[in-house]
Amino acid sequence: MAVTLTVLGIAQDGGVPHAGCECSNCMDAHDNPMLRRHPVACGIVGSDGSMHLIEASRALPDQMRLWADSLDRQGVARPDSVSLTHVHIGHIDGIGQFGKEVMGVSELPLFASRLVIAEMEKREMMMPFSTSEITTMQGFEPSKSCGFELVFVPVPHRDEFADTHAILIRGPDKSVLFLPDHDEWDGTLAMHGAETIREWLFSLEVDIALIDGSFWGPEELPGRDMSQIPHPTVSESLMRLGKRSEGDPEIHFTHLNHSNPLLKQGSEYDELVKMGWGVSWQGQHFSL
């Protein structure tokens, strides 16, 4: 059985529609369920059929159904492990649904950094899980004979309560970097001794990268100080990357804020695709 990764959500923590927002993207999503976008998450199926969830968002019920549907299965998918990149709300606010009030699981393996686990324990959110602290940059299999490795890669990102990691998924044939959040490219690249995005991705032997595309540009949120919401803009990432060349990894932007014009196929979307890059979508499927 092949190792596969399914994209279960592509939105920033608040999803689309976003609470309290009347922008056209949010109002269109209220009117048309097909335009709703879940907070960012991924599901991996191992070569042994085991199922492994990355992030636990508030849209967990819909994402578990989406996951099953993408695999042509009836019912819903039930994960055999959960991994978390960090403790910001959109990445963990589905955790409670594993507890006795909803699914009632126990001893479900949960993988995260020591600081993330400590913060989750402080919030009394660990009852359904058996927790395993990961070692940064050291690969591990989330279950026996799953046929792939996870590697937690540290990145800087407003670490008020705990630290933040990207997750590298190494399959038998391809590797995917899941990088939904980081503060800015200069800090991330410096942390890993790289000068360019390409250099860093090549050093990790990445074939496919799902990277932070929260905002298209720096003026996207009128009335908000975007220096207080640090993410590299897609415009900056495209400037650093230029056009895709033969041998470059695939790059798909994810974690899109409700204000991001890439949610629709307009001029910004056309510009990005013309340069050879992509925008991730719910149900997107990769064979690893």
| Fold that domain 4-282 belongs to in CATH | Metallo-beta-lactamase; Chain A (3.60.15)
Residues written for the chain: 288
Name the amino acid, one letter, at 258. H
Strand order from edge to edge, sheet including 81-83: 129-133, 108-112, 81-83, 51-54, 41-45, 4-9, 285-287
Work out the pLDDT band at 226, boundaries 50, 70, 90. low
Determine the average pLDDT of the residues in 95-122.
95
Q: Which residue has the higher pLDDT, 94 or 221?
A: 94
pTM: predicted TM-score of the whole model, two decimal places: 0.96
Residue range 28-71, pLDDT digits in tens: 999 999 999 999 999 999 999 999 999 999 999 999 999 999 99
Spans of all domains in the chain: 4-282
Residue range 116-143, pLDDT digits in tens: 999 999 999 999 999 999 999 999 999 9
Name, in order, each residue with C-beta under 8 angstroms of 154's C-beta and a sequence gap of 6 or more.
136, 137, 163, 164, 165, 191
Residue range 181-191, pLDDT digits in tens: 999 999 999 99
Average pLDDT, the chain: 94
pLDDT of the residue at 160: 83
pLDDT of the residue at 97: 94
CA 27 to chain centre: 24
Work out the pLDDT band at 228, boundaries 50, 70, 90. low
DSSP codes of every residue in 89-118: HHHHTTGGGGSTTTT---SEEEEE-HHHHH
